Amino acid sequence: MRNSWLVALATVAIANADNLAYSPPAYPAPWANGQGDWADAYQKAVDFVSQLTLAEKVNLTSGVGWEGGQCVGNTGDIPSQNFRGFCMQDSPLGVRFADYVSAFPAGVNVAATWSRDLAYARGQAMGEEHRGKGVDIQLGPVAGPLGRIPEGGRNWEGFAPDPVLTGNMMASTIEGIQDAGVIACAKHYIGNEQEHFRQGSQQNYTVSDSISSNIDDVTLHELYLWPFADAVRAGVGSFMCSYNQVNNSYSCGNSYLLNHVLKGELDFQGFVMTDWGAQHSGVGDALAGADMDMPGDVAFDSGTAFWGSNLTIAVLNGTVPEWRVDDMAVRIMSAYFKVGRDRSRVPVNFDSWTQDTYGNEYYYAGEGWTKINDHVDVRGDHAQLIRQIGSSSAVLLKNTNGALPLTGKERNVGVFGADAGSNVNGVDGCADRGCDDGTLAMGWGSGTDNFPYLVTPEQAIEAAVIQNGGLFTAVTNQSGIDFAQKAAAQADTCLVFGNADSGEGYINVDGNVGDRNNLTLWQNAEAMIGAVAGECNNTIVVLHTVGPVLVESWLHHPNITAVLWAGLPGQESGNALVDVLYGKVNPGGKTPFTWGKQRSDWGVDIIYTPNNGEGPPQQDFTEGIFIDYRHFDKANVTPTWEFGYGLSYTTFSFSGLNVQPEPAAPYTPATGKTGAAPKFGKVQGASAYVYPDDINRIEAFIYPWINSTDLHASSGDPNYGWPTDKYVPKGAQDHSPQRVHPAGGAPGGNPGLYDVVATVSVDITNTGSVAGDEVPQVYVSLGGPNDAPKVLRAFDRLTIQPGQSKTWTTTLTRRDVSNWDTVRQNWVVTNYTKTVYVGNSSRKLPLKATLILK
Ligand SMILES: *[C@@H]1O[C@H](CO)[C@@H](O)[C@H](O)[C@H]1NC(C)=O
Ligand SMILES: *[C@@H]1O[C@H](CO)[C@@H](O)[C@H](O)[C@H]1NC(C)=O
Ligand SMILES: *[C@@H]1O[C@H](CO)[C@@H](O)[C@H](O)[C@H]1NC(C)=O
Ligand SMILES: *[C@@H]1O[C@H](CO)[C@@H](O)[C@H](O)[C@H]1NC(C)=O
Ligand SMILES: *[C@@H]1O[C@H](CO)[C@@H](O)[C@H](O)[C@H]1NC(C)=O
Ligand SMILES: *[C@@H]1O[C@H](CO)[C@@H](O)[C@H](O)[C@H]1NC(C)=O
Ligand SMILES: *[C@@H]1O[C@H](CO)[C@@H](O)[C@H](O)[C@H]1NC(C)=O
Ligand SMILES: *[C@@H]1O[C@H](CO)[C@@H](O)[C@H](O)[C@H]1NC(C)=O
Ligand SMILES: *[C@@H]1O[C@H](CO)[C@@H](O)[C@H](O)[C@H]1NC(C)=O
Ligand SMILES: *[C@@H]1O[C@H](CO)[C@@H](O)[C@H](O)[C@H]1NC(C)=O
Ligand SMILES: *[C@@H]1O[C@H](CO)[C@@H](O)[C@H](O)[C@H]1NC(C)=O
Ligand SMILES: *[C@@H]1O[C@H](CO)[C@@H](O)[C@H](O)[C@H]1NC(C)=O
């Protein structure tokens, strides 16, 4: 729609005029070179791409348009190589829009398990399901949003507002997905911390551009970029750039973030795709480091594209260098070979736009009637894993006098709240789960999939009570306070359910446009809790929430004996809950976010109304690295429950901390230069790329060909070629060898960052009478005046028998004890005293030791 250069120029002008944050240009776009364990895949990609024409390479990079194929994103085929285009499919918790798939627990629950093994197992199971449906790229996992603001609508799709917990879960999930032969996609890069204004105007407000997340260099490196670096180091094949701007430059056209940081410093060898509609320019984004545009059209189904024909034209008119398109194609194919897609591909056998068996292959155009859904059941035995993650992620927050576990001898059990029951309109009654009817087991938006079924708490608890010979009733009428009181007065055990939902900004649920409007429970669940507790002296509260909620108004009621957070557990919700309630599984989850006592405790908030007139809203990350527990610690605010907290049916003690410095080679900044940009193949004259005569053009479909050899006319861009002298940013066409980033040198950053500098060991004893899981957590104080009091650096989840002790040993790397130095543009270990803390939450750290590095 807009000429990239104009956008960039206008942005600079605004930035200068209004003193808004500004992102410096960084060119040229680094070319892949097969670093690290990418060498084989890179060579195969080079061999493949070397056989392609320009139009074929463009087909690899360009989406065919919204609803132009069977997946949520599709690229063109390469018939000469008998190669079908790529199939991109949501979501981070399963195969979106398909039938016979599993509904996995959300990312926030995976974080609550603190188990890399479960994260890996879930990644692999999801990867298998995508593979079985013919998907090439699963659009997940998520590290952006990280969770800066508790109301952030999509926080639950990701993991936790801590870069180390999230980074570990990112890496394990990616390894799982990619070991299953499917390319993972680390998203949304970066600063996508709220839904409001992520795409500019919304609801009653008109603004010129998307919100700008203004993030300083230290905060970027020490907080938001950290888990993305772990993703690169884990070998992730693709990244997705986000809708928002960063420093007033669109993420998908921000050369500093894509060229300098991601492909330079982090040495990312895979490819960057745009979020759906996050592309705002053709030439500009290509030069700034984007490699694939999704879904491919300028506006959904406009039939026009920034790339496709325009990318072919841009190469022919010399604005986008040939090597840049070669690099896009090589990066895309490298990811393909890296995960073994060449060995694991099956045809796409489902359709995103209908679940009918027969339909149109080109849904928007209404053409290509064929069998589009084979209804392949890809679920395998994943239900067991889902149930295990569900029970392993439950966080026991309060438990008075052993109220839990239930013994099975309860004679009269009551279940209360709409959140315990079914959605009366069906399990998938609301499109993209955009409602809050019945029990909450995932949030809403594109980060969802269809439930094959959903075991509700009501069903599972009822089955358990009947088996135990008790009485059971469930009042799931949320307004039925009178009915609830009557039943609660008769019950000896009352389980009250409440939830809080959120999701993606394109759906409004009860006035919440993605982000939550408040931090209280939904549907007045507090009233139901209070009413039941008034009648029942053993009231157990179960929460299905996307993040923290305010609980102080009811938590201390003497009849509320237990509180359990179950998060968004997916299809096996009720079964997983029953496992924990009855003690078949001893809860070992730890809260992956801090629960404040009042809204103001968190400091930062969503920008709900524009704050920059009709210009892009400005979201200044002035709190820096101080989000979630780092903020609570620094501001000395006592939370209800701190990050990392969770009870068990047993108790544990920690002793014998030993922090042993390890010799490590000195940190050496990466030096030297890359090779020159390679070219694979040869660009012919324009006539070679004119539409073939025999092609039947599908309506609104994006092709790589041009209408005629008149490039200007073929583009149809009113700003074509203007102004020719300044169109290409300085250095963008430079294909000469480039200096290696000193903090780079390998995927994930300088290998010296990952040298072990200390070993930490501790003895953990189960001091209770039942077996249980404990999560030892290592925090480090970096010691400087601008540092957080402590930051999480290592953790594990251990199963320990009663009376037994285990010695747990972990390591700290150089990165774990480093700060980002903005002057050196590298990581440094400062001279401030480093202190290591160990315990089982961010505020229960009984052991500490000073770390004197060798
Ligand atoms: C954004 O601006 C800040 C402040 O000038 C700077 O530290 C940071 O590096 C910039 N980040 C990007 C991505 O441009
Ligand atoms: C590009 O993809 C389209 C759609 O799959 C296909 O019809 C066309 O032949 C491809 N073009 C080239 C040059 O391979
Ligand atoms: C938008 O405007 C309508 C009509 O004035 C109003 O009812 C609605 O509450 C407004 N929405 C928001 C989010 O302000
Ligand atoms: C080329 O891109 C411009 C926007 O930059 C758009 O207006 C035009 O329609 C595109 N042309 C084609 C053939 O898609
Ligand atoms: C829910 O309870 C309220 C209050 O007693 C009552 O008015 C309403 O009819 C009940 N809803 C249904 C569906 O029975
Ligand atoms: C918070 O939002 C939820 C969902 O829209 C709503 O049910 C609840 O009443 C709100 N809480 C307050 C205190 O307004
Ligand atoms: C606690 O429950 C009992 C019924 O078991 C009730 O009599 C009492 O009033 C309740 N306490 C409060 C503070 O509501
Ligand atoms: C709850 O009330 C019952 C009956 O009044 C009593 O037997 C029981 O001990 C009480 N439980 C607690 C936890 O106070
Ligand atoms: C956490 O550690 C404390 C000691 O710091 C201990 O009292 C408590 O039992 C532990 N919690 C769990 C769930 O093991
Ligand atoms: C290219 O040709 C097609 C088919 O004739 C036409 O619909 C389209 O508008 C043309 N594009 C431009 C930019 O002229
Ligand atoms: C080259 O082609 C691109 C894509 O159509 C167009 O945006 C750009 O203005 C053209 N530049 C020149 C210098 O002709
Ligand atoms: C640490 O102290 C030494 C000696 O005072 C000094 O040379 C060095 O620059 C300091 N390093 C850092 C990272 O501050």
Q: Is 408 in the pocket of ligand 9 (CB under 6 A)?
A: no
CA–CA gap between residue 182 and residue 134 (Å, rounded): 9
Q: What residue spans in the chain does CATH classification 3.20.20.300 cover? A: 35-69+79-375
What is the mean pLDDT of the segment spanning 273-284? 97
- CA quadruple 173, 175, 180, 186: dihedral positive or negative? positive
Q: What residue spans in the chain does CATH classification 3.40.50.1700 cover? A: 394-584
Percent of the chain with pLDDT over 70: 97
Point out the ligand nearest to the CA of residue 556: 7
Q: What is the pLDDT of residue 19?
A: 85
User: pTM for the full model?
Assistant: 0.97
Reported as a single tens digit per residue, the pLDDT across 720-754 is 987 665 678 999 999 999 999 999 999 999 999 99
As given in the structure block, the two tokens for residue 710 are 């008149």
Which residue's alpha carbon is nearest to atom 6 within ligand 7? 535
Closest atom of ligand 9 relative to the 844 alpha carbon: 5
CA–CA gap between residue 323 and residue 737 (Å, rounded): 13
Q: What is the pLDDT of residue 85?
A: 98
Q: Is 721 in the pocket of ligand 11 (CB under 6 A)?
A: yes
Reported as a single tens digit per residue, the pLDDT across 571-605 is 999 999 999 999 999 999 999 999 999 999 999 99
Fold for 35-69+79-375, please state it: TIM Barrel (3.20.20)
Angstrom CA distances, 410 to 466, 564, 630, stand at: 11, 19, 42
Q: Which of 479, 483, 524 to mutate to test the pocket of ligand 5 (most atoms within 8 A of CB)?
A: 479
Virtual CA dihedral for 799, 801, 805, 811, nearest 10 degrees? -10
What is the mean pLDDT of the segment spanning 226-247? 98
CA of 508 relative to ligand 6 center, distance in Å: 13
Q: What is the pLDDT of residue 9?
A: 38
Q: What is the pLDDT of residue 854?
A: 84
Q: What single letter denotes the amino acid at residue 532?
A: V
CA of 348 relative to ligand 6 center, distance in Å: 42
The verdict on whether omega for the bond into residue 188 sits within 30 degrees of 0, i.e. cis, is yes
Q: What is the pLDDT of residue 766?
A: 98
CA of 85 relative to ligand 2 center, distance in Å: 9
Q: 819 by DSSP, 3-state: which?
A: strand
Q: How many CA atoms lie within 13 A of 226 on its CB side?
A: 28
CA–CA gap between residue 550 and residue 160 (Å, rounded): 18
H runs (alpha helix) in 686-818: 711-715
Which residue's alpha carbon is nearest to atom 3 within ligand 10? 707
What is the mean pLDDT of the segment spanning 168-185? 99
What is the mean pLDDT of the segment spanning 770-787? 98
Query: Residue 238 pairs with which residues in a beta bridge?
Result: 185, 271
pLDDT over threshold 60, residue 649: yes
The CATH number assigned to the domain with range 394-584 reads 3.40.50.1700
What is the mean pLDDT of the segment spanning 649-664? 98
Mean of pLDDT over the chain: 96
pLDDT over threshold 90, residue 418: yes
Q: What is the 3-state secondary structure (H, E, C) of 261-309?
A: HHHHHCCCCCEEEECCCCCCCCHHHHHHCCCEECCCCCCCCCCCCCCCH
Reported as a single tens digit per residue, the pLDDT across 793-804 is 999 999 999 999
Whether 571 contacts 109, CB under 8 Å: no
- Ligand 7: which residues within 6 Å by Cβ? 533-537, 558-559
Point out the ligand nearest to the CA of residue 55: 2
**Element at 473 (helix H, strand E):** strand 471-475
CA of 764 relative to ligand 4 center, distance in Å: 63
Angstrom CA distances, 373 to 43, 92, 97, 350, 645, stand at: 35, 22, 11, 4, 45
Q: Which of 814, 831, 833, 852 to mutate to test the pocket of ligand 12 (most atoms within 8 A of CB)?
A: 831
Which residue's alpha carbon is nearest to atom 14 within ligand 11? 721
Reported as a single tens digit per residue, the pLDDT across 483-514 is 999 999 999 999 999 999 999 999 999 999 99
CA of 535 relative to ligand 7 center, distance in Å: 5
Backbone angles phi, psi at 533, to 5 degrees: -65, -30
Reported as a single tens digit per residue, the pLDDT across 34-45 is 999 999 999 999
Which residue's alpha carbon is nearest to atom 11 within ligand 4? 715
Point out the ligand nearest to the CA of residue 829: 12
CA of 631 relative to ligand 11 center, distance in Å: 48
Point out the ligand nearest to the CA of residue 608: 3
Q: Is 828 in the pocket of ligand 12 (CB under 6 A)?
A: yes
pLDDT over threshold 80, residue 363: yes
Which positions are annotated as active-site residues? Answer: 275
Q: What is the pLDDT of residue 13?
A: 38
Q: What is the pLDDT of residue 18?
A: 66
